[in-house]
Amino acid sequence: MHVFFYWRLFEIKHYGKLIIEKNMLSNEKIRHISPGVINKKGCWYCIQCHTQEKRHFYKYFSTLLDKEVVYCRNCINLGRMDNINEVYITETNVNMSQGIYHLPFKLSEQQRFASIKILEAVKNLTSILLYAVTGAGKTEMIFEGISFARRKGYNVAVVSPRVDVVIEVSLRIKAAFRDEAIDVLYQGQRQCHNGHFVIATVHQLYRFKHHFDVIIVDEVDAFPLSMDPILFDVITHASKEHHGHIYMTATPPTKLLRKMKEGSIITLPARFHRQPLPVPQFKYHKIKFHKIQRFLMKLLKQQIEADRYTLVFFNDIQHMKQMYHCYKTEITSLTYVHSEDVLRFEKVSALRKGEYKVMFTTTILERGFTMANLDVIVLNSHMFESSALVQIAGRVGRKLEAPSGLVLYLHEGITMDMLKARKDIKKMNALAHNRGWLDG
Ligand SMILES: [Zn+2]
C-alpha cells in the first residue's frame, strides 16, 4: 500500500500529450479519446502525425478481429496509430518556476540586442526568425526569454531536427538553468519531469498536443527533407493557440524568409568574439580518389606541421573511404567519420583530444561542431549546396583564442552555390562592420 502511494506521488505527469497506454496517467485530465486513426470526411486522418495522405495509410484484413485494420506508416516509429486502439490526449497544465540561470560571462552587444528581441517575442507571443551567423552565440541569446517564460508559467520547448544539436544545446542549457526541471527527449530518452521545459528533437513534438506557449527551433533548416511542411505542422500542433515561435539559423531557406512577417527577421551578422567570418578561398583541383595526389598530400602535411586541425569534407562515403586508405599510409593522424559510423562519437572526441590531426568527413560535421585551431577543406565543392558551404565555413575560427583560419573550396568549376556562399559571408561581415559589432 505504502509503496503504491509513494510511486503515485513521485511519478511524472503527462500534460498536453498523446498517450497510448492509459495506465501511464494518474490525475491528468483527458480531453480527447478516439482511435489513433480516424475517418474524417471520408479520408483517414492520423491523430499523432496529422497526416491525411493516402499513401501513409496501410490496410489489411484481420481475421482475428474480423475487421479491416488501417494504420499510419508515417509515424510508426513513434508508436502505432490504427483505427482499432484508442489513444488519449490530455489537457495541458501550467506550472511556474523561478527561471533562474547562471551565465559565467557577459553577453556581447549583439547578443544583448538579440536577447531583447527574443524577450519581446516571448512576452507578446509572436514569431521571429533569428538569421544569425555561425558562431554568433545563439544559445545564450535565448536564456532571458526562457527565464521570463518559466516565471510566467509558460511551457517552453527548445527543439532541433538534429540529435547532435539537441545533445550539445541541452548540455549548455542545463548548465545554465541548474535548478529547473528540464526534460531532454530524443530517441530512447524518457521524460523524467512534467514536460514544462523540454529540449528535444522536432520528432518528439509529435507526442505533444496544444501544450507549448513558446517553441524555439534551433537549426530550423537542418530538417532532413529541407523545409518539409510536416515540420511546421508538428510545431503548430504541439503549440497552444496563442504561441511564440523563435526560429534560429545561419542559413535560412527562401521559403522560411517568405513565411515570416515583415519586421520579424532579426539579422545577427557578428560572431560573439567580434571577429569577421573567414571568407572561403576557391581553387580549381580535380580530385582523384584512388591515388595520392601530391598537391593534397603536401597541403595536409603543411596543416599538420602548422599545428592546425583539418576537416576535409566529402559528398560521397565510398570516395572518402577510398581516399582514406591511400593517405593513411603517409598520414598516421588521419581518420574518417560518417553518420553510420558506429565509432562516430569516439572518433570525434579523439579529434578533440588531439589524437587525430586530419579528419575526413561527410556533411555530418557541417553543423554543431566547435574546436579551436580548425581549418576546413571541401573536396568537389561544386557538388555542395550554398547552405552546406556556409555551415562548413562556419566551423572555422569560432574560438576567441583562434578566431581565423583556412576555408578552402576545391572545385572543378565555380558554381552559383559557391558564389552565393561567399557573397553571403562577405555581406554579413560588411553588415557587422557597419553596425560596429566587429573589432579592428
Ligand atoms: Zn501518423
Sequential pLDDT tens for the chain (440 residues): 454 544 444 589 999 999 999 888 999 999 999 999 999 999 999 999 999 999 999 999 999 999 999 999 999 988 999 999 999 999 999 999 999 999 988 999 999 999 999 999 999 999 999 999 999 999 999 999 999 999 999 999 999 988 888 988 999 999 999 999 999 999 878 889 999 999 999 989 999 999 999 999 998 887 654 556 777 889 999 999 999 999 999 999 888 888 898 899 999 999 999 999 999 999 999 999 999 999 999 999 999 999 999 999 999 999 999 999 999 999 999 999 998 899 988 999 999 999 999 999 998 888 878 899 999 999 999 999 999 999 999 999 999 999 999 999 999 999 999 999 999 999 999 999 999 999 97
**219 and 302, same structural domain?**
no
pLDDT of residue 5: 47
Measured in angstroms, how far is the CA atom of residue 51 from the centroid of ligand 1? 6
Measured in angstroms, how far is the CA atom of residue 78 from the centroid of ligand 1? 9
Measured in angstroms, how far is the CA atom of residue 23 from the centroid of ligand 1? 22
Within-domain flag for 14 = yes
Within-domain flag for 209 = yes
Closest CA to 384 of 322, 328, 314, 324: 314
pLDDT of residue 9: 45
Measured in angstroms, how far is the CA atom of residue 15 from the centroid of ligand 1? 20
**164 and 138, same structural domain?**
yes
Within-domain flag for 348 = yes
Task: Provide the domain limits for residue 294.
Answer: 281-434
Enter the pTM of the model: 0.90
Measured distance CA(309)–CA(430) in Å, rounded: 28
Measured distance CA(338)–CA(344) in Å, rounded: 7
Measured in angstroms, how far is the CA atom of residue 73 from the centroid of ligand 1? 6
**289 and 422, same structural domain?**
yes
**261 and 391, same structural domain?**
no
Q: Which residues surround ligand 1, an ion (CB under 5 A)?
A: 46, 48-49, 72, 74-75
Q: How many residues does the chain have?
A: 440
Pick the last residue of a domain from 268, 290, 316. 268
**303 and 409, same structural domain?**
yes
The total domain count for the chain is 3
Measured in angstroms, how far is the CA atom of residue 36 from the centroid of ligand 1? 8
**294 and 233, same structural domain?**
no
Measured in angstroms, how far is the CA atom of residue 161 from the centroid of ligand 1? 18
Measured in angstroms, how far is the CA atom of residue 215 from the centroid of ligand 1? 22
Q: What is the DSSP letter of 353?
A: T
Where would I find the beta strands (DSSP E) of 127-253? 128-132, 156-160, 183-185, 197-201, 212-218, 239-249
Measured in angstroms, how far is the CA atom of residue 427 from the centroid of ligand 1? 42
What SS3 state is found at 396? coil
Measured in angstroms, how far is the CA atom of residue 71 from the centroid of ligand 1? 8
pLDDT of residue 271: 96
**202 and 322, same structural domain?**
no
* Single-letter amino acid code for the residue at 208: F
**CATH code of residue 257:** 3.40.50.300
Measured in angstroms, how far is the CA atom of residue 120 from the centroid of ligand 1? 35
Measured in angstroms, how far is the CA atom of residue 88 from the centroid of ligand 1? 15
**400 and 317, same structural domain?**
yes
**233 and 143, same structural domain?**
yes
**150 and 58, same structural domain?**
no
Beta pairing class for 37-40 and 43-46: antiparallel
What SS3 state is found at 257? helix
pLDDT of residue 227: 52
Is the backbone of residue 294 left (phi > 0), alpha (psi -120 to 50) or beta? alpha
Within-domain flag for 440 = no
Within-domain flag for 152 = yes
pLDDT of residue 174: 97
Measured in angstroms, how far is the CA atom of residue 206 from the centroid of ligand 1? 9
Q: Which residues of 254-279 are buried (b: 16+ CB within 10 A; e: fewer)?
A: eebeeebeeeeebbbbbbbbbbbbbe
